Structure 1
Amino acid sequence: MPKKIATEEDWIQLGFAQFAEGGEGALVIERLARSLGTSKTSFYWYFKDRASFLRRIIDEWRQRSTASLITDSSLDGLSAQEAILIVLQGMFAPNQSRDFLYHLRRLGHSTPNYAEQLAQIETARLSHMSALLAAMGHPPGIAGHKAELLYSYYLGWHERQHGREQHAAESEAAIALIWPYLERKGSEC
């Protein structure tokens, strides 16, 4: 039977899913090629090596999970409060790629380049949330502190969800728990 011609996008999508499931160790080129029904030679049409493949996968995740959210035009015209709720729903939503961050953090512990990429992504995320909180009426310093606390809560929550099936009710409960802290209080002015 003839082999399928896998596109660069096919490789990236499968690599993304495998990394989210099992981290860097799940990116075995021969196994990925079999899953795609192609030869591993097609991998080298698009990627110099596994490291360049992993960089493209991380770039894809950055685009999906951070850049696209920050530039999401569907949030235009919403109040800051409504926009924050939508962002929170995305952050805590049950999804299949939620362990991507878990595996990237572990990879960053051993590889400074990935730690640096993650730091850039997290800086963008914190800056965006801080701006939304400031638009909701929080003074800039307090908005920054609340964004930091929210992100720490998010990381801890996802760490506890690792390897578990996540349900919508758990996501809603996570948002309900943090929301009162994010609301603007009169004494913050």
Structure 2
Amino acid sequence: MMSEPLLHRDDPAKDPLVGNIKVTRQDWLNAALSVLKQGGVEAVKVAELAGQMGVSRSSFYWYFKNRTDLLNALLQHWERTNTAAMVAQANAPADTITEACCNVFRCNINTALFDNRLDFAIRDWARRSERVNAVLKAGDDARIEALTHMFLRFDYPELEAKARARVIYYMQLGYDDANLGETLNERLAMVPGYLVAYTGHTASDAEIEAFATYARDVTGHTDPA
């Protein structure tokens, strides 16, 4: 885990004011995250970010020493959101392995839990940087370890637990990248079959309905038809 970047200012009351705009460290991070997801790491440039926000470039240095400091913060954000969310969902309480898998599926439905576009951007960045690739590998390892322990909790043999963890992880990573063009209802219709494939067990109707309700709530699709 990388150490926290050193800030030039750490008192929110002393955030720089540019015109009538109060510029925060999170504003810079949000702008950089958006650019990273849209254009890759090469597009994350201080001058361009300042222009997008309509602020002085000098305000950047209240919060970051340099561009590398900002890039480190982006990596930390990815670790603290995507990786932490999947680990937490794998460890969430569940009475059955199918319920546990539904907890993990929430990462692929709720972008507030897990941002697939950010994950893709980090993986693309990792192809260009050995340092970032090492951070990515550590994140992948942590996620697979958590998924493996999820299966172990329900008495799967160790090697089988690891294999099933890899299957569910790598399939979920590539699901959105496949660009299947499914509606939410089409995707939900596949969930019972996926659960059988991942776990060897059939989920209860209550588990399927609970996940479907969650999915519709977080995506705003309220029509169950």
TM-score (normalizing by structure 1): 0.81
Aligned to 1:110, what secondary structure does the other structure show? coil
Aligned to 2:127, what secondary structure does the other structure show? helix
Query: What is the letter of the counterpart of residue 46 of structure 1?
Result: Y
Deviating runs (4+, > 6 A) in structure 1?
Answer: none
What displacement does 1:156 show? 2.5
Distance (whole Å) between structure 1 residues aligned to residue 155 and residue 87 of structure 2: 19
Q: Which moved more, 1:23-32 or 1:113-122?
A: 23-32
What displacement does 1:57 show? 1.0
What displacement does 1:94 show? 6.2
- Map 1:115-154; keep pairs closer than 5 Å: 115-154=133-172
Query: What is the letter of the counterpart of residue 165 of structure 2?
Result: A
Residue 108 of structure 1, aligned match among 102, 121, 126: 126
Tell me, yes or no, if structure 1 residue 180 matches structure 2 residue 196: yes
Query: What is the letter of the counterpart of residue 157 of structure 2?
Result: P
Q: Which moved more, 1:111-120 or 1:63-72?
A: 63-72
The structure whose Rg is larger is 2
The question of whether the paired residues in 2 share the 8 Å contact of 1:20 and 1:98 is answered with no
The question of whether the paired residues in 1 share the 8 Å contact of 2:32 and 2:49 is answered with yes
Aligned sequence identity (%): 21
- Alignment RMSD: 2.8
Distance (whole Å) between structure 2 residues aligned to residue 104 and residue 110 of structure 1: 10
CA gap of 1:44–1:178, structure 2 versus 1, over 3 A, is same
Distance (whole Å) between structure 1 residues aligned to residue 79 and residue 187 of structure 2: 22
Residue 48 of structure 2, aligned match among 12, 16, 31: 31
User: What's the counterpart of residue 219 of structure 2?
Assistant: none
Q: Which moved more, 1:40-49 or 1:118-127?
A: 40-49
User: What's the counterpart of residue 59 of structure 2?
Assistant: 42
Q: Give per-residue Cα distances to partners, 1:130-187, cap 9 Å, x unaligned.
A: 11111123111101011112222123223223xx9775346435644532122246xx
Task: Report the count of equivalent residues.
Answer: 181
The question of whether the paired residues in 2 share the 8 Å contact of 1:8 and 1:46 is answered with yes
Distance (whole Å) between structure 2 residues aligned to residue 80 and residue 40 of structure 1: 53
Tell me, yes or no, if structure 1 residue 8 matches structure 2 residue 52: no
CA gap of 1:140–1:25, structure 2 versus 1, over 3 A, is same
Bigger share in helix: 1
What displacement does 1:116 show? 0.3
Query: Using CA pairs below 8 Å that are at least 6 residues apart, which structure has the higher relative contact order?
Result: 1
Query: What is the letter of the counterpart of residue 117 of structure 1?
Result: V
User: What's the counterpart of residue 56 of structure 1?
Assistant: 73
Distance (whole Å) between structure 2 residues aligned to residue 31 and residue 177 of structure 1: 46
User: What's the counterpart of residue 67 of structure 1?
Assistant: 84
TM-score (normalizing by structure 2): 0.69
User: What's the counterpart of residue 6 of structure 2?
Assistant: none
Structure 2: give runs of 5+ residues left out of the alignment: 1-17, 202-225
